[in-house]
Amino acid sequence: MRSHFSTPWKVVIDIERTSRRTLMTYHRQDSANLLVFIALLTLTILTIWLFKHRRFRFLHETGLAMIYGLLVGVVLRYGIHVPRDINNMTLSCLVNASPATLLVNVSGKFYEYTLKGEISANEISEVQDNEMLRKVTFDPEVFFNILLPPIIFHAGYSLKRRHFFRNLGSILAYAFMGTVISCFVIGMIMYGCVMLMKEVGQLAGEFFFTDCLFFGAIVSATDPVTVLAIFNELQVDADLYALLFGESVLNDAVAIVLSSSIVAYQPAGDNSHTFEATAMLKSFGVFLGVFSGSFALGVATGIVTALISSDFTKLRDFPLLETALFFLMSWSTFLLAEACGFTGVVAVLFCGITQAHYTYNNLSPESQDRTKQLFELLNFLAENFIFSYMGLTLFSFQYHVFNPMFIIGAFLAVFLGRAANIYPLSLLLNFGRRNKIGSNFQHVMMFSGLRGAMTFALSIRDTATYARQMMFSTTLLIVFFTVWVCGGGTTQMLSCMRIRVGVDSDQDNSVSRGQHPSSKHLYSRWTFDSNPFSYLKPILTHSGPPLTATLPACCGPLARCLTSPQAYEGQLRDDDSDLILNDGDISLTYGDVTVSADASGARASRGLGPLCGVTSDEALDRELAFGEQELVIRGTRLVLPMDDSEGPLAPALPPPPSGLDLRRHRE
């Protein structure tokens, strides 16, 4: 039977007898377990509401979710004890593969089993004695395939694009070089720590240098969601916000690809943990290949979506179809990347950025709202779910390895790694920047290196070996500490560092730092669309200058053919619509174009026909309202020489009081 066939996928095993009831029971238990998490989330939401209502800022919702998760974990671990009814039977059947499907024949009835994954040997030897704990444990791949994609997409989709692209150079430096530096610094320190532990005899298993580097990669992914939420609330300087947010979004992508390249490092020969140049180069190749492949895929899907929803198709007459298409295309980016062997999460991130930059401008105002709100909701649910699961895992995970030396070493390494990332790079960047990154900014960035969902997901993905288990336990503690302590101390930190708060990012950014009030437009060299890319925007959207204005004269006919009429109109009133985007909503441009183009009454001209239903009435109202608003704002516009479209989700900047004032003005 030990023959060699290519890829066998079915094994039939005869087992005696069973009843259909078992299946039903499992389904019920699954529902009950999921219900535990939903109850947790509901509780979190209600408490968050209470906190927001009372304006408590010391604990963010994610920190709260972790606390609730911890409590439930304690209850499950020590409160409920389901008696164990386990029967391990070793059935020796020789097959040369683990097939995807097992068929088990129980006296005539066939049961299908699907491969869930490989599990570590000690998970079997120490048989879990608490059924309930096993039940509330999710497949780690759930995080990568279900929970992380909406979070990462949301991050990309909500990049405040003007400030992001202004600081693009610095952000890329922090995200790429910084993460690599951090990874290697942490890896090196941890290797020293591990060597020391081996000396003292504290190490109960193998721990290689690649493991240390892997640890460095996973804890280099920062997630300052708590900090940014408070920044938003307090309206902290927009450039600081952009630097932190941009770095944290991109370094997630770097960390995930970096960690997978470290796993891919496999020197030839028996001892697979020595240094070898070819394997190293191969790992570097994997890094470059996976990263660029994921990047290209994400951007490509974004551009395809932008083309589909562009002006040539009148898809925006049907917001539901448009939103559904947007959702499906963004999701398919993830699947396509995974199917091609790239990293779905990274592809989704760049897809989100592209969608925000190009597709968002093509969507109808209603779809803009819908997509914003949809991904905001998904992000909110996924994030809180992950953080409450994190809390739960501290008690429900069965193979924790808490080693005091390793933990202290890790905390130290994380601190030093962050410092080695921020301070030297800032120094370097300040040579090139007119607008220096002040030392108070650097301290805040250092302080805001929280670890969150991505670090957790990467560390729980593989907990098969001793080294990985120790990493996982330590990572959990690092996340708890940073979220509670650093997250909770943000307001204190801001006041201590004398960071200005209450800054209206759009009108005031030039003077926000108080150093270079006139250096604002010097940033424009970082603008994404100021270079070859600027030709893309008028083709893919109908904002921006028409191609006829930007292409050389010889390309005239081609340019005219590719530019939509709106782009011309846009140019005609370009100076008008530049900073009408006060409240971070590009739809104002539409309101402007449409309403102003035909002010005599036929305002439903954008095809808000009877098919749109109830909503078109609202859209019309909003459009009219915006039209009016625009008339007033026009009096106070500022003209900047760069791309002014704000990020679609422009993380909840408090609305300028304009709505009210304008109204009053009119009255």
Q: Which of residues 364-423 bind a second copy (CB under 8 A)?
A: 369-370, 373-374, 376-377, 380-381
Q: For a second copy, give the closer residue by CB, 134 or 634.
A: 134
Q: For a second copy, give the closer residue by CB, 263 or 412.
A: 263
Within residues 435-454, the interface with a second copy by CB under 8 A covers: none
* Helix or strand (DSSP H, E) at 288: helix 277-308
> Using the rule CB under 8 A, is 530 a contact of a second copy?
no
Of the candidate spans 3-11, 160-168, 204-212, 542-550, the one that interacts with a second copy by CB under 8 A turns out to be 3-11
Q: Which residue from 58, 111, 138, 399 is in contact with a second copy, where contact means CB under 8 A?
A: 111
55 sits in the region (left: phi over 0; alpha: psi -120 to 50; else beta) called left
> Using the rule CB under 8 A, is 5 a contact of a second copy?
yes
Here's the x/- map for a second copy, 213-252, by CB under 8 A: it reads as -------------------xx-------------------
* Helix or strand (DSSP H, E) at 45: helix 21-54
Q: How far is it, in rounded angstroms, from Cα 135 to Cα 465?
A: 22
Helices (H), 311-438: 319-340, 344-354, 360-362, 365-396, 404-432
Considering the complex, what minimum distance in angstroms separates the CB of residue 304 from a second copy?
10
Using CB under 8 A as the binding criterion, the count of chain residues that bind a second copy stands at 145
Residue 346: strand, helix, or coil = helix
In Å, the largest CA–CA distance within the chain is: 89
Q: How far is it, in rounded angstroms, from Cα 19 to Cα 28?
A: 15
Q: How far is it, in rounded angstroms, from Cα 363 to Cα 357?
A: 11
Considering the complex, what minimum distance in angstroms separates the CB of residue 201 from a second copy?
27
Considering the complex, what minimum distance in angstroms separates the CB of residue 477 from a second copy?
27
Q: For a second copy, give the closer residue by CB, 262 or 336.
A: 336
Considering the complex, what minimum distance in angstroms separates the CB of residue 340 from a second copy?
8
What are the C-alpha distances in Å from 241 to residues 231, 424, 499, 609? 7, 20, 11, 41
The residue among 206, 351, 187 whose CA lies nearest residue 255 is 187
> Using the rule CB under 8 A, is 525 a contact of a second copy?
no
Within residues 589-648, the interface with a second copy by CB under 8 A covers: 601, 603-604, 609-618, 620-622, 624-626, 629
Q: For a second copy, give the closer residue by CB, 495 or 605.
A: 605
Q: For a second copy, give the closer residue by CB, 330 or 474.
A: 330
Cβ distance 587 to 365 under 8 Å? yes
Structure tokens at 112: 């299908």
Of the candidate spans 32-40, 179-187, 286-294, 398-406, the one that interacts with a second copy by CB under 8 A turns out to be 32-40
Structure tokens at 138: 């999710």
Considering the complex, what minimum distance in angstroms separates the CB of residue 510 from a second copy?
22
Cβ distance 44 to 70 under 8 Å? no
The strand pairing partners of 103, in sequence order, are 12, 112
Within residues 48-107, the interface with a second copy by CB under 8 A covers: 48-49, 52-53, 85-106
Within residues 291-350, the interface with a second copy by CB under 8 A covers: 308, 313-315, 317-318, 320-321, 323-325, 327-329, 331-332, 335-336, 338-339, 341, 344
Cα dihedral sign for 575, 580, 581, 587?
Answer: negative
Structure tokens at 56: 């408590």
Considering the complex, what minimum distance in angstroms separates the CB of residue 222 from a second copy?
23
